[in-house]
Structure 1
Amino acid sequence: MILQDAKSAGRVGKLLSTPANENASATAYPRVHCDFRNLSERFGHNSKDYARQFAHIYAVRLTKMRELLTRGIRKKWGPDVRIRKLFELQEEESRKCVILGTLFKHQELKPSILKEISEEHHLIPQPPRTHFVDDSDQLILEDELQRIRLTGNLDVHLVVTGVVCAVLGHEDGDGKFLVDDYCWAGLSEPVQRPLQSAGDRFIVLLSGLNLADSGDTLLPLQLFVDWIGGFLGDMGEQEHQACVVRVLIAGNSVKGCAEHETPVLHNTYKTDIGDAMDATKLLDDFLVQLTSSIDVDLMPGEFDPSNHMMPQQPLHYCMFPQASAYQTLHGVPNPYECEIGGRRVLGTSGQPVRDIACYSKLSDPLNILQHTLEWAHIAPTCPDTLSCYPYYQEDPFIISECPDIYFAGNQPHFQSKLYEGPEGQRVRLICIPAFSKTHSCVVVNLNNLDCYPVCFGTYSSVDCGPDK
C-alpha cells in the first residue's frame, strides 16, 4: 500500500486509523514527492472579449516568431543571405533571397459556410468528408502587407495553414516564388534544468476514459487505481509505484466522441445531459480514489463539458463534489504546461494533431507531433480550421521554450520517440492512447525520459503500438 502524506492529501486526514492498518503500515511505502510548477498561466482567459478579429493573432504570431526564424536562417544559410520583404522582391531581379511569412493553403475541399448555404438551396451538394486534401491545393506565403504563391521544393501536402516559415529562392516571371529550400522556426536553445533527484521519479499519462460509454472500461480503470495506490503486485512493484509522483489525465474523460452508437429520436437533449451527468459521477468516483494517494492533473478534452474554443479552461470543481475535497486534484487547461522535478512537460488533449491530419497528408500522429515541435507552434491551424479564442496581443500556442516531454492525448495507440534537435535538445514525444479503447496508460521516467505503456487488458484486445 502506498501512502500520501496528510499535507498533500488536504482535508482528508490520516489514511491509516485502525489498529489493523497499523500493522500494514510497517510495509507501506511513502509516496515520493517532486517539486511542481504550473506554467499554464498564458492559457487562461483573463478577459473574454470576442469582438476582435482573428487576423490579429496571425500578425502577433509572425512578429514574435520572426526572431526565431532569423536566427535559424543565419545558421542554415549563412550570415550573408539576403532577407527581403515581399514588396522588395521586384528589386531583386530574380536573384536568390529569403522571404519569411505565414503559410496559407488554398483548398477547394475545405469546409466553407458559403458552400453550406449553397447546399441548403440545393445548388451544389457536397458529400461529407473527413479529409480535405486535393491535388489542386496551392501554397501561399503572407507577410504583413502582401502575399505570393509558392512553387518548388516545399510540398503543399506536408504543411498546414498558419505555419510560420522562411523560404530560400527567387521570383519567377509569372509572379510566383520558386522555392529552393525552406527553414522552420525550430526549437529554442536547450535550458539546463537540474533534476530534483538522481533517483527514478515517474509520471503517469492517460487519456480518453470516455465514461459516458464505459462498457468494459470500468474493470481496467479500477485495476489502474489499485495499481497506482499500491494494491497490486509484489513488494517490488509497490516500491516502484511509490516513485510515481503525478498522474496527468489528458482529456475526454467524460465523453470520447460526438456520435451515438444507437441513435435516439426522442428527447435527445435530455438523454445527452443524463449521460453526461452519469459519466461525471463515475469520473468523480474514480478521481476520489486516485486523489487520495497521488496528485492528479485533470485536463479537459474536445468532448468534455468545457468551452469548445482552444485553449480550453479547466473543468469546474463543482462537477466533482467528492474529489474536490482533496487538494491533490488540480483542474488544468488544454493545452497544459508544467514543470515536474526539473522537467518541463507540455501537451494537449489531441485536437491539434487530429486537425492537422484532416488538412494535410500527414497521417502518423507521432510524425505530426514532431512537426509541430519543429514549427515551434502547438496548434498552427488555430484559428483557421481549429477554433480558438481571438487573441489580440499574444499567441499563447508558440513554443518559446524547449520542453522535455511533449505529448498528445486521445490517439489510436501508444507511440513514443526521443527527438534530438540540432543544438542538443532532447524531447520525449508521446502519443497517449485512449484508455477506453486500449485500456493502457503511459509511464515516463523523469530521470532519463524513458517511456513505456502499461496495459490493463488482455493482450489480444489491446494494441499499445510501437515505441521508437
Structure 2
Amino acid sequence: MTSLDDIPGNMLRKPSGNTGDELERASSNYKPLHTFRLDKDKPYQQQFADMYFLRLTKIKPAVEQLASAAWDDTLIGNEPVQKAERVLDIRQGELCWVSGTVYMDMPLKPNILEDVSKDRWLSAPISNKKYYSDDGSDAVTLEDESGRIRLVGDILNSVLLVTGCIIAVMGTENVNGELEVIDLKFPDLAPQPERWALSKPPTNVKTSTSSLKKKNKSTKDEDTKMTDEDEPEIRSGRKIAIVSGLGFSGTDASHAIELNLLLEFLLGETLDHSAQQELSQISRLIIAGNSISLEERRPGADEEPTEKKAHKKYGYDSSAYNPLPSQLLDEFLSALLPSLPVTLLPGAQDPANASFPQQPIHPAMFPHSRPYTAPPAAAGVDAEPGWFDTVTNPWEGEVEGWRVLGTGGQNVDDIFKYVDSDDRLGMMEAMCRWRCCAPTAPDTLWSYPFQDDDPFVMQKCPHLFFAGCQPEFGTKVIHGPEGQTVRLVAVPSFADTQEIVLVDTETLDVTKVKIAAV
C-alpha cells in the first residue's frame, strides 16, 4: 500500500520532527528614498509653467553636451552647423542646432484653458484612449523661454516624442517658418551609481554590477519581450516580488480565489517543501498601484436594475462609500506582514491624491496592518522604514543594493495616448533616455505645480525601472553610453492576468508567475 509520504509533491504528510526542515524568510536590505514626498504646507497657488523651465534647465546641459560633440565642426554641403542659443535666434536658410522642450499640438488632447474660457466645469479630465491622430493634424513643436517653432521632417516619424521631453535638433528653417530636422539628440541615460551606493552590503554579496553586465552581453534575446516558452526557471537566491492591480472589490468576487492563492503562494502554504524553500527567498513584496477596484458590478440581463438613487449635489453621501475593498486589502496585508515586508505604492484607483506624485496611502486605512508601519514620530527622511512601508507614486529606493524606480503606471498610460504604438517597454526606455519619468506632467498628467525642483527628472539612472498596471508582462535590458544597464519591467495587472513578477536580486533576471485556479 502506497503511503501519502511516497506521493511526490503531496502536502498531506506527517511532520518529520526534524527542526532542520524549518525555513526562515530571507532578510530584506531596503532603503527608501523620499524623492517624491511633498511637504504638508505645499501651496497650490503657483503656475505650472515653472516646471518646464526647471526641467529644461536641469536636462539641457546634458543634451547640449551630446549635440555639441556630434554636430560641432560638422559640414553639410560645405556649410558648417552653427549653434543657436535660442529658438528665436534661428535664421531661415542657415544650418543650425538648438535645444528645447517638445510640445505636441494635438486636437484630440484635452485643453483646460479652452474649458475655462467656455465656462465649462469638468470634475475630471476627459479620458480619450488616444490623443494621436493620423490625419496630419498633429504638430511637433520645440519651445524654450524665448518662443516656439514647429518641427518637420521624416526623422520625426522614427522616434518617440511627447510633450515635456528635452531634445536637441539640427536642421534649417524653411520658407514656412518650420525647422526641417535632419538629426536630433536625446540626453540619454543619466549617470548610474554603483550597487550598494547608499547602504552597506552584506559580507557575502558582491558590490559591483559586473555579473549583470556580463550576462546581458551574452544573451541574444535580452531586448525582446519574454514569453511563457522562454522565461527562465526560478533559481536559488533572494528575490523581490512585484505585483500590481490586485483590484480588491466589495461587489465583485471574480478573482477572489486567485487572490487567496496569491496569499498562500507568497506565504508558501500550498506547496511542497522544495518549493517552499525557493519561496522563502522572496525578501520583499512591492505592490505597484490599483490595489482597490472602483468598478461596480452591473446587473445582468436576468437581474432587475436596482432603484435609482437621487442625485446628491451638496454634502457628503455616506451611501456612496464602500469600506469593504480597503478592509479586504487590510486583511490581505496583515496576513502577509508577519512573514514578508511590503512596500505599497498608490495607483489611480487607490485612496490617495489623484495628481502626480501621489502621496502615500494613510496608514489609518489599514487598522490591522498599521502596527507594522514606522511610528509617526520617526517619519523623517533618515528614519528607519517600517516593515509595512506606504510610499509615494512614483517611488525611488535601494533594494538589495540596486537603485529601483517604480510607478503605478499612469506615466506610461499617458504616453501611450500620444503615440501610434503599443510598445510599453519602448515608452519606458524612452523615459530613461529622456531622463524624465513623467514627461507629460503637468500637461496631460495631473501634477503638483513644482517651483523649486522637478523631481521627475532622473538625476541618477536606476538599475531596475518598473511600471505597474500594464496590459501584459514585458521585460528587457537597455544600455547607456557610459556602461549603464537598466532592467525594464512592465508589471501586468493581477486582476486581469493573475500574474506576478519575481526579480532575482543578484542578476536582475525576471520571472513571470501565473496564479490560476485549475
**Bucket of the pairwise TM-score, normalised by the shorter protein:** 0.7 to 0.9
Q: Residue 201 of structure 1 aligns with which residue?
A: 238
Match of 1:179 among 156, 161, 181: 181
Match of 1:411 among 470, 494, 498: 470
Q: Residue 30 of structure 1 aligns with which residue?
A: 24
What TM-score, normalized to structure 2?
0.77
Larger helix proportion, structure 1 or 2?
1
**How far apart are residue 114 of structure 1 and its match?**
6.4
Contact 1:104 1:160 in 2 (8 A): yes
Amino acid at match of 2:480: G
Q: Residue 361 of structure 2 aligns with which residue?
A: 315
Contact 2:347 2:393 in 1 (8 A): yes
Q: Residue 462 of structure 1 aligns with which residue?
A: none
CA distance 1:41–1:118, change in 2 (3 Å)? closer
1:255 aligns with 2:293: yes
Contact 2:36 2:393 in 1 (8 A): no
Amino acid at match of 2:23: Y
Structure 1 distance, partners of 2:387, 2:252, is 25
Amino acid at match of 1:266: K
Pairs within 5 Å for 1:56-71: 56-71=50-65
User: Per-residue CA shift, 1:114-170, capped at 9, x if unaligned?
Assistant: 66589999xxxxx98422222211111101111111111223983211111111112
Q: Please give the secondary structure, in 2, of the residue aligned with 1:441.
A: strand
Q: Residue 137 of structure 1 aligns with which residue?
A: 138
Structure 2 distance, partners of 1:361, 1:228, is 38
Flag as ranges the 4+ runs of structure 1 deviating above 6 A.
117-121
**How far apart are residue 78 of structure 1 and its match?**
5.3
Match of 1:436 among 476, 495, 499: 495
Contact 2:35 2:395 in 1 (8 A): no
What TM-score, normalized to structure 1?
0.85
CA distance 1:129–1:93, change in 2 (3 Å)? closer
Q: Residue 260 of structure 2 aligns with which residue?
A: 222
**How far apart are residue 200 of structure 1 and its match?**
2.2
Q: Residue 321 of structure 2 aligns with which residue?
A: 273
Structure 1 distance, partners of 2:270, 2:447, is 42
Q: Residue 84 of structure 2 aligns with which residue?
A: 84
Amino acid at match of 1:68: A
Between stretches 376-385 and 207-216, larger displacement belongs to 207-216
**How far apart are residue 87 of structure 1 and its match?**
5.2
Between stretches 206-215 and 100-109, larger displacement belongs to 206-215
Match of 2:351 among 276, 285, 305: 305
Q: Residue 211 of structure 1 aligns with which residue?
A: 248
Between stretches 394-403 and 22-31, larger displacement belongs to 22-31
CA distance 1:176–1:271, change in 2 (3 Å)? same
Amino acid at match of 2:354: H
Amino acid at match of 2:332: F
User: Per-residue CA shift, 1:81-138, capped at 9, x if unaligned?
Assistant: 6432235635x663322200001111112223466589999xxxxx984222222111
**How far apart are residue 405 of structure 1 and its match?**
0.8
Runs of 5+ unmatched residues, structure 2: 1-13, 75-80, 121-125, 207-235, 300-304, 312-316, 373-385
Runs of 5+ unmatched residues, structure 1: 1-19, 122-126, 460-468
CA distance 1:21–1:97, change in 2 (3 Å)? farther
**How far apart are residue 255 of structure 1 and its match?**
2.0
User: Per-residue CA shift, 1:249-305, capped at 9, x if unaligned?
Assistant: 011101255x7645873168545412xx10000000000011110110011100111
CA distance 1:396–1:304, change in 2 (3 Å)? same
1:368 aligns with 2:427: yes
Contact 1:362 1:368 in 2 (8 A): no
CA distance 1:334–1:244, change in 2 (3 Å)? same
1:385 aligns with 2:444: yes
Q: Residue 189 of structure 1 aligns with which residue?
A: 191
What is the CA RMSD across the aligned residues, in angstroms?
2.8
Pairs within 5 Å for 1:34-183: 34-77=28-71, 82-86=82-86, 89-90=89-90, 94-113=93-112, 129-134=128-133, 135-152=136-153, 153-155=155-157, 158-183=160-185
1:285 aligns with 2:335: no
Q: Residue 213 of structure 2 aligns with which residue?
A: none
The percentage of aligned residue pairs carrying the same residue is 34
CA distance 1:211–1:67, change in 2 (3 Å)? same
Contact 2:257 2:517 in 1 (8 A): no
CA distance 1:22–1:267, change in 2 (3 Å)? farther
Q: Please give the secondary structure, in 1, of the residue aligned with 2:44.
A: coil
Amino acid at match of 2:341: D
